[in-house]
Structure 1
Amino acid sequence: MHFFLCFDCLSLCFLLHFRSCVAFSGKNRIIGVAAKNQMVTNVKNTVFGFKRLLGRKYNDPYVQKELKHLPVKAAPLPNGGIGIRVNYLGEEHSFSPEQITAMLFTKLKETSEIALKTKVNDCVISVPSFFTNAERKGLLDAAAIAGLNVLRLMNETTATALAYGIYKQDLPAPEEKPRNVIFVDCGHSSLQVSACAFHKGKLKMLASAADPELGGRDIDFILTEDFCNSFQSRYRIDPHTNPRAYLRLTAEVEKLKKQMSANSTNLPMNIECFMDDKDVTGDMKR
C-alpha cells in the first residue's frame, strides 16, 4: 500500500488510480476519483491534502500555512487538534485529519477485500521519510479507526528501493561490488531522494534527504498565479475571490503542466463561463 502519493489499487477488472480525496454530500460520502471529479461543484465539502495535517495541532504555524491552500473550513478541536468542518447528511460535522484518513483507508480496505475475495486486516503502510513521530502516530490512529492492523510503517524511500530490487534477477552477488542506485521522488507536495546499494536479495540504504515543502503543487501555484494576474488585467476578474473558479483554474493548469512536459509548442487553455459568465483563454510555452 503506497500512502498518499496516489494509491494503485487492484479492482475487479483493472487497476484504478486512487486519489486521496474525500467529499461529503447530503446523502453520502464520496471517496477517491469520484470525489476528485465533483470537487468543483462541491468545493466547501471536498477535503484533500489532509496527509499534511496528521498528528498536528491547529495553532501550528505549519498547519495555518497549509489551511490557506484548502477551500474547506477548519477550527480547533477541544484537544487543540484540527477540526475540518463539512456539511454531511444535512448537518455540519467536524472531522479530524485522522478520521478523514480512516475513511479513505476504509474504502481501500473494502476495495482490496472485493478484489482478493478475502478479509484484509494486516498491512504495511509507507510514509514520507520526513514524517515526525506525531505524524506517524496520527497515521496509526487512522489505520486503527479503519480496522487495519499495521504490521509496520515503512519510509517511502525504502519502499521505492524495495519495489525496484525485489524482482531483479541481475543484481550482483553478495561478494561482488554493489549496484548503487539513486531514486528521486518529486511528489505532489514534497521531494525525497535516496541512495541505495543493491546485492541479490539485499539492499542497504546509504543516504536519504527530503524537502517537505517542494513538490509539483509549487509549480502549479506559480503557473496559476501567472494566469490569475493575466486574467485580472485582461478580463478584470480576480479568481482568488471565487474558490470554485480558482479550483477550476488550478485543475486546468495541472493539465497544461503535464502537456508541457511532452510538448515544446505553444499550448492553449480555454475555460468557458469561468467567472461572471466570462469565457477566458490563455496559453503557455515550455
Structure 2
Amino acid sequence: VVTNCKNTVQGFKRFHGRMFSDPYIQSAKSNLVYDLAQMPSGSTGIKVMYMEEEKVFSIEQVTGMLLTKLKETAESALKKPVADCVISVPSYFTDTERRSVMDAAQIAGLNCLRLMNETTAVTLAYGIYKQDLPTPEEKPRIVVFVDLGHSGYQVSVCAFNKGKLKLLATAFDSELGGKDFDNILVNHFCEEFGKKYKLDVKSKPRALVRLYQESEKLKKLMSANSSDLPLNIECFMNDIDVSGKLN
C-alpha cells in the first residue's frame, strides 16, 4: 500500500450501490489515495492501472475479484469446489447496496444463497452451538452485541433459548467507524504540518498513506495511555522529517 498506493484498493465496501454524485462518495473521495471515477451509468468506479492500461472497474467487479480470491482460498483449504455461499452485510445496507453485493457474487461465479445482516451472523455464531442456554420454556438469556468496525457501528440485542434465537432490536450509526477516528487524526496532522513545515500532505498520496498508518498506531496507543504521545515520521515529504504529539 505504501509502494503502490494508487493501485492498492481498500475500504470499498461502503461504495456499493452508490452513484458517483452521492454526497457520501464525494466526501470520501478526498480521504482516499486511489482514484474514483464515474461509470457510464453514473455509478461509482475505481480507476487503476491493469495490464499496463488505465482501467475503471465497477465496485461489483472489484468485490467480485475479492470474492474470487476468497473462493480459491476456501477451495484449496477444503480440497473441493465451492459454489454456494452466504454473505453478511451491514444491517444498514439498503436494497440497492444489497443487490450490488449479489451482483459481485455472481461475477465471482458464486451462488449466493442469501445475504445475512452482520448483526444476525454474529448472534448465530455466538449462540447456535451453545449448550448452556435456557430451555424453550424458561426465560430467555438476553445478550447485547456491540460491533464498532472500520466503517460502521452496529448494536443488536438478542434473546436466546436452546435451539432458538430472536433478534429484539438493532441500531446503527453508519458514519462512525475506526476510519472516522483515523480521518480526524489525519486531518489534524495535515493542518499542523501545513502550518509547521509548510507541507501540503494531501497532494502526495504516498505521504498520506504513511500518515494514515502512523495515525492508526497512535490511536491504538492513545486508547491505553492518557499522556502525550509522539508521532514521528522520517523523510515524510520533500526529505523533511515531521513530528507531532497528541493525548
Give the TM-score taking structure 1 as reference length.
0.82
Q: Deviations over 1:180-221 (max 9, x none)?
A: 111111111111111100111111000001111111111111
Question: Where do 1:1-286 residues align within 5 Å?
Answer: 39-285=1-247
Unpaired runs of at least 5, structure 1: 1-38
Distance 1:179 1:260 in 2: 35
Runs of 4+ in 1 over 3 A off after TM superposition: 263-266
Alignment-derived partner of residue 23 in structure 1: none
Q: Which amino acid aligns with 1:47?
A: V
Distance 1:191 1:262 in 2: 21
Identical counterparts, % of pairs: 62
Q: Deviations over 1:134-165 (max 9, x none)?
A: 11110010001101111111000000111111
Distance 1:113 1:55 in 2: 29
Report if aligned partners of 2:31, 2:183 keep a CA contact under 8 Å in 1.
no
Distance 1:223 1:266 in 2: 14
Greater Cα offset, 235-244 or 172-181: 235-244
Distance 1:267 1:62 in 2: 32
Secondary structure of 1:48's match?
coil
Q: Deviations over 1:197-246 (max 9, x none)?
A: 01111110000011111111111111122222222232222312222111
Distance 1:232 1:90 in 2: 35
TM-superposed CA distance for 1:267, in Å, is: 2.7
Report if aligned partners of 1:48, 1:70 keep a CA contact under 8 Å in 2.
no
Give the TM-score taking structure 2 as reference length.
0.95
Q: Which amino acid aligns with 1:208?
A: T
